[in-house]
A and B are shown apart, each in its own frame.
Chain A
Amino acid sequence: GAVVSQHPSRVICKSGTSVKIECRSLDFQATTMFWYRQFPKQSLMLMATSNEGSKATYEQGVEKDKFLINHASLTLSTLTVTSAHPEDSSFYICSARDWDKNGGAGGETQYFGPGTRLLVL
């Protein structure tokens, strides 16, 4: 089945520093990846849609200059939390759609990465 990896799995950083999170589709190509944020015991909040070769589409209320997204290849999207603050501490999960499904139109199913737990001190 489709596998999505994330790195790192957990990270602790100082306030004011930047943190990069990688999301990779391991056995399929993903023209579209999604970034979510999840607070403890809460739902997945869509932050942005990452499109290979173009700018990401951010959901309302998500600062694009703070959460930088780069989708440089068909298997890799990165989320950089810039000038991190304690309130950015959260669980960040990416997901990817398999481009090859539905004759190249992309499958509907999203495959999730294992998540990255970020703690900003």
Chain B
Amino acid sequence: EVQLEQSGAEVKKPGDSLKISCKGYGPNFSRYWIGWVRQMSGRGLEWMAVIHLSDSKTKYSPSFEGQVTISADKSISTAYLQWSSLKASDTAMYYCARLYYYENTGLYWHFDLWGRGTLVTVSS
């Protein structure tokens, strides 16, 4: 079955580092782009960063550039999102999602397959 499997919930303190993961299952998964989407409690969706699993080409939302790092390991079809120093305001649900990327058409992407989410809680 084609699916995205995310790592489990995390509870961290301000200043801690963190790396969460998203593993893709299905044929030829490494040819896809994967993105991370933040959803703070009771709020809407915000895309943060996307990465191509095969060559690790990345794109960041201006709102999140410099705040997080996206990376990938194509050998295991896995994307990662990491923070070097968490803040309480990073508390949120983080979804990974597969892009349907209209590459080379002048268009961008939407998300056609979603993981179940990783809840990150940052509290002292």
A binds B: no
Q: Which residues of B contact A (CB under 8 A)?
A: none
